[in-house]
Amino acid sequence: TQLLEQSPQFLSIQEGENLTVYCNSSSVFSSLQWYRQEPGEGPVLLVTVVTGGEVKKLKRLTFQFGDARKDSSLHITAAQTGDTGLYLCAGLPSGTYKYIFGTGTRLKVLA
Amino acid sequence: DTEVTQTPKHLVMGMTNKKSLKCEQHMGHRAMYWYKQKAKKPPELMFVYSYEKLSINESVPSRFSPECPNSSLLNLHLHALQPEDSALYLCASSYDGLAGITGELFFGEGSRLTVL
């Protein structure tokens, strides 16, 4: 069974702090996505990474795909209350439609 | 248009009712998905349709019956559900070009189902 483990599970920080969320697996993925989901809504795609070692920046968010394409990280600089939500990574094994979702990281940013 | 539209947003049904959830996308995506999400958990894959054919059924009970009438529409027919089936049901789509599968799922806002 392919698993994507995210850490930490929960994170509560003050506005302005930095944080990193990790997504780890023993499997290799052809691509990996990060989503943010708010209560009662569907996940919203933040970024897709496809190349080992790739780094993508989206304003205060920095995403990295591991060299071996088995893990990824999301770093948020100077967190804001609007960053609050459930962060999900999802990996796509090569040649399949079966996106594997991570266990999720619930982030709360306090004013 | 980059939207996946799901209806209804909320549905309450009894265990003997028959109802349907609907999903629509006009992005030309050829792969469509149903996911089930319980509170504070990640989405769990139920079904995948590729080019209007069912390609993955994750051992979902037969009381859930998917249907893909055309490349833009995906339905989930519900019959004789149990209270534990109460969840957020998410539809998603992805581009599936002839050269392979790209790695982006676009989700709808979900249908919140409550089974009494």
Residues 6+ apart with CB under 8 A from A21: A6, A7, A8, A11, A73, A74, A75, A76, A87, A105, A107
Q: pLDDT at residue A99 above 70?
A: yes
| Mean pLDDT estimate for chain B | 90
Tokens of B23: 């999903």
A88–B42: do the CB atoms touch at under 8 Å? yes
* Beta-carbon-side half-sphere exposure of residue A10 (alpha carbons within 13 Å): 3
Q: Is A92 on the interface with B (CB under 8 A)?
A: yes
Q: Is A39 in CB contact (< 8 Å) with chain B?
A: no
Can you give the pLDDT at residue B1?
A: 59
Of A17-31, A66-80, B97-111, least confident by mean pLDDT is B97-111
Residue A104 contacts B, CB cutoff 8 Å: yes
pLDDT average, residue stretch A31-60: 93
Q: What is the largest CA-CA distance in chain A?
A: 44
In tens, the pLDDT along B44-93 reads 999 999 889 998 899 999 999 999 999 899 999 999 999 999 999 999 99
The answer to whether A56 touches A63, Cβ cutoff 8 Å, is yes
Q: State the pLDDT confidence band at B99, using cuts at 50, 70 and 90.
A: very low
H or E stretch including B97?
Answer: strand B96-97
What pLDDT does B102 receive?
Answer: 57
Picking from A41, A92, A103, the nearest residue to B42 by CB comes out as A103
Decide if B114 contacts B12 (C-beta within 8 A).
Answer: yes
Closest Cα in chain A, distance from residue B29 (Å): 13
